[in-house]
Amino acid sequence: MAHLELAQKENFLETRQNLENRLIFGSYPDVVQLPTSEEQTDYLKGLVNAYLLKDILMFEQVRYSHKMLQLLQLVAYQVGQEVSFEELSKALQIDRNTVERYLDLFSKVFIIFRIGGYSKNLRKEVTKSSKWYFFDNGIRNGLINNFAPISQRQDIGALWENYLASERVKYNTYTRTFPYTYFWRTYDQQELDWLELKNEQLSAYEFKWNDSKVKFPKAFVEAYPDAKTNWINRDNYTDFLTGVI
Cα separation, 166 vs 136, whole angstroms: 7
| Cβ-based burial of 51 (10 A; exposed 0-12, middle 13-18, buried ≥19) | middle
Write the DSSP symbol of residue 122. Answer: -
156-181 pLDDT, tens digit per residue, is 999 999 999 999 999 999 999 999 99
Please state the length of the chain: 245
- Dist CA 204 CA 53 (whole Å): 37
Judged by phi (left if over 0) then psi (alpha if -120 to 50, else beta), residue 134 lies in beta
Q: What is the pLDDT of residue 44?
A: 96
Which stretches does DSSP call E strand in 41-188?
82-83, 112-117, 130-134, 180-185
Quote the CA–CA distance of 170 and 185 in Å, as a whole number.
Answer: 24
Point out the least confidently predicted range of 15-19, 50-54, 95-99: 50-54
Residue 126's pLDDT band (cuts 50, 70, 90):
confident
pLDDT of 57 above 70: no
Q: Which of 172, 243, 240 is nearest to 207 (CA)?
A: 240
**How many beta carbons lie within 10 A of that of residue 245, not counting itself?**
15
Residue 81 one-letter amino acid: Q
CA 161, 28, 67, 99 dihedral sign is: negative
- Picking from 29, 99, 46, 43, the residue whose alpha carbon sits closest to that of residue 54 is 46
Count CB-CB contacts under 10 A for residue 232.
23
pLDDT tens track for 4-25: 888 888 888 999 999 999 999 9
Domain ranges of the chain: 3-241
pLDDT band at 142 (very low <50, low <70, confident <90, very high): very high
Helix pair 65-77, 96-108: axis angle to 10 deg: 80
Q: What is the pLDDT of residue 119?
A: 85
Average pLDDT over residues 126-136: 88
pLDDT for residue 63: 64
According to DSSP, the residues that pair with 113 across neighbouring strands are 133
pLDDT at 125 over 70: no
Distance CA 47, CA 42 (A): 9
